[in-house]
Amino acid sequence: MAVSTSTLGIFVLIYMLAVFYCGWLAYRRTKEVDDYMLAGRNVNPYILALSYGAAFISTAAIIGFGGVTGTLGLGTLWLVFMNIFVGIFIAFIFFGSRTRRIGVNLNAVTFPELLGRRFQSRFIQGYSGALIALFMPLYAGIVLIGGARFMETALSVDYDIAVLILTVIVAAYVITGGLLAVMYTDALQGTLMLGGMAVLLALTYAKLGGIVEAHQALTDLAPLVPESLAAGGHQGWTAMPVFGSPIWWTMVSTIILGVGIGVLAQPQLAVRFMTVDSKKSLNRAVFAGGPFILMMAGVAYIVGGLSNVYFFNTTGMLSIEVAKGNMDVIMPEYINSAMPEMFVIVFMITLLAAAMSTLSSQFHTMGTAIGHDFYREFLMKGNAGKTVDVTKIGISVTILFSVILAYILPISIIARATAIFFGLCAAAFLPTYMGALFWKRMTREGAIASLIVGTFSSLFWLTFIHAKEAAPLGICQAIFGTETLLTGTWTVIDPILVATPLAMIVAIGVSLVTTPPAVDHLEKCYGNNR
């Protein structure tokens, strides 16, 4: 069902006017470097919570992981638990307060700069910035795909044009208004996303006869699991896959742990902890952030699973069959087929908000990484013009890379690419980030070793062991004549379970055999308890 172009145009115009007003307001208030890079360090807790959540939960979650749930089942709801417990509670209460304190003490304005100044290393800052600039476009690319796929289905707009429309709109306010514009617009978009997802859940249950009836009908579809999925361990959409099966490993190691733990080391999220003025603001933000994630991710996954009931009742087919094998199309197909036209318009705005909120955060983070951290601070040693000007150039470059990836990435890629990026961040950054915050004995040498080992062990596992990536890449096949170097269960274990522990062991081992940081530097890092 294609929605009325004129009706949609009115809603989109109102929405865009609100977005550009937020961007203009932020532009007016962006006068110093801290305003552009860190939103002035005095953001309201409610805006922080919605901005963090909106940057975290994007079209990757709604479209990508909703489609995964429609294919593999409601076991993905364990990821919602991880998102709330790890991504909100642990992140804000334990990581957030120390990140904010050390960031203020060291006058750090980016995540790589926080690590670099804590360990007194330009290399760490430059390496971290380069890593973000190289690999975050993959994440931004799949967020673009999620938004563009829905626009393509709902509006019958060419996919390539949809990608360009989203990119141009987001780039306009990120480049001009910086992080303040990102957070203002995120708060607006997060509010819209909450409303859209609440209505989606209510309409879905109403269409399927009620909560109990809908889930019972989904349970009753278990005998219809396709043979290929059943052979991989699929036992139905309301049951976990067979323990130890390939699908179980994919769901637990890649989806639940890969994304659930990887969130702690997301640069675009960690930097938000440095935008508030006190630990109390971070604690207050938890009460808004938790329910937001529950509604956004939880509703997307539940509806994705229940789409099977709707499609079976109306077409006699399962969701993945209706989507012709492309998981990324399941949610757009369901919403356009099952929902009233007016809601399709509302949800179109919701998805635009989800895509734009995450993209704006990614573009800002990539721009600061390549412009401020890698080029200005590492290559030019702080002598390359104003931070804001260099950052704007960096944003423009990384936007181009993201758009190119959105055009060339294959189908059913959204959830997998998200897990790849989150897992890489966990392996590369998490041990160093934890050491920077919680272990005064961690040394510069330990941090560097951990960064390098985490990065390359994760990439090695992806390229030569993990079948989901190794087989399509073909590098292992070209070099060794086999799709993967290992066989059996090893090929379905996500890199995060190997690379992150290895990086942590290296961080501890190297730190214990190298000279401890200077006491006066540690006092400077940890001294402020505000």
DSSP assignment of 222-285 equals GGG--HHHHHTT---TTSPPPTTSHHHHIIIIIIIIIIHHHGGG-HHHHGGGGGSS-HHHHHHH
Relative orientation angle of helices 122-155 and 341-367, to the nearest 10 degrees: 160
Sequence-distant (6+) residues with CB within 8 A of 202 are none
Residue 54: the pLDDT is: 66
- AA identity, residue 170: V
- The sign of the CA dihedral 25, 31, 34, 36 is positive
Residue 9: the pLDDT is: 62
The ranges of the chain with pLDDT < 50 are 1-2, 35-40
Residue 521: the pLDDT is: 94
Residue with tokens 């399509």: 472
Which of 496, 501, 493 lies closest to 468 in space, CA to CA? 493
Which of 328, 307, 299, 69 lies closest to 208 in space, CA to CA? 307
Relative orientation angle of helices 387-408 and 159-207, to the nearest 10 degrees: 70
Read off the pLDDT of residues 300-329 as tens digits, 9 standing for 90 and up: 999 999 999 999 999 999 999 999 888 888
CA angle 265, 268, 272 (to 5 degrees): 100
pTM listed for this prediction = 0.85
- Parse the chain into domains and list their residue ranges: 5-210+248-426
Q: 333-351 as b/e, with b when 16 or more CB fall inside 10 Å? A: bbbbbbbeeebbbbbbbbb
Superfamily of domain 5-210+248-426: Sodium/glucose cotransporter (1.20.1730.10)
Residue 280: the pLDDT is: 75
Residue 138: the pLDDT is: 84
Q: Are 304 and 320 in contact (CB under 8 A)?
A: no
Read off the pLDDT of residues 407-442 as tens digits, 9 standing for 90 and up: 877 766 777 788 888 899 999 999 999 999 999 999
Sequence-distant (6+) residues with CB within 8 A of 404 are 141
Q: Are 288 and 44 in contact (CB under 8 A)?
A: no
Which of 202, 309, 64 lies closest to 319 in space, CA to CA? 309
Burial environment of residue 48 by CB neighbours within 10 A (0 to 12, 13 to 18, 19 or more) = buried
Give the CA distances from residue 468 to residues 73, 155, 473, 494, 502, in Å, rounded to whole numbers and listed in that order: 19, 32, 9, 10, 21
